[in-house]
Structure 1
């Protein structure tokens, strides 16, 4: 599995955009719910990292990055 260290503030912003897009769909499948929970978790970690003094990066797996990359 590939990992990347990316800017936490940008990840938090992208996660919020992704959550907004997900909330606007009428789909409520289990896959949709899992995706929403994963993006919420990514966003929370990114916000915490961006607010931590001396830390401005968060490490994502390639799958996590792919899930939010369309919202950069």
Structure 2
């Protein structure tokens, strides 16, 4: 596993989530009544994306090579 790349990806995801929360806190409180209305789905999508990234990293890359043309 490429540790520096993983740390970079995690840092960017965390930074994006913090920026979304800080930008949407007041609007979510006003429109939805809870400050976490916009960040909850993004946290779920980030968790699913990170899980998919982990699963994709565990698959042998030769399988991706065989599936490249059918997927395209």
The higher radius of gyration belongs to 2
Structure having the larger proportion of residues in helix: 2
The bucket for the TM-score relative to the shorter chain is: 0.3 to 0.5
Structure ranking higher on relative contact order (CA contacts 8 Å, 6+ apart): 1
Q: When the two structures are superposed, what TM-score results if normalisation uses the length of structure 2? A: 0.42
Q: When the two structures are superposed, what TM-score results if normalisation uses the length of structure 1? A: 0.42
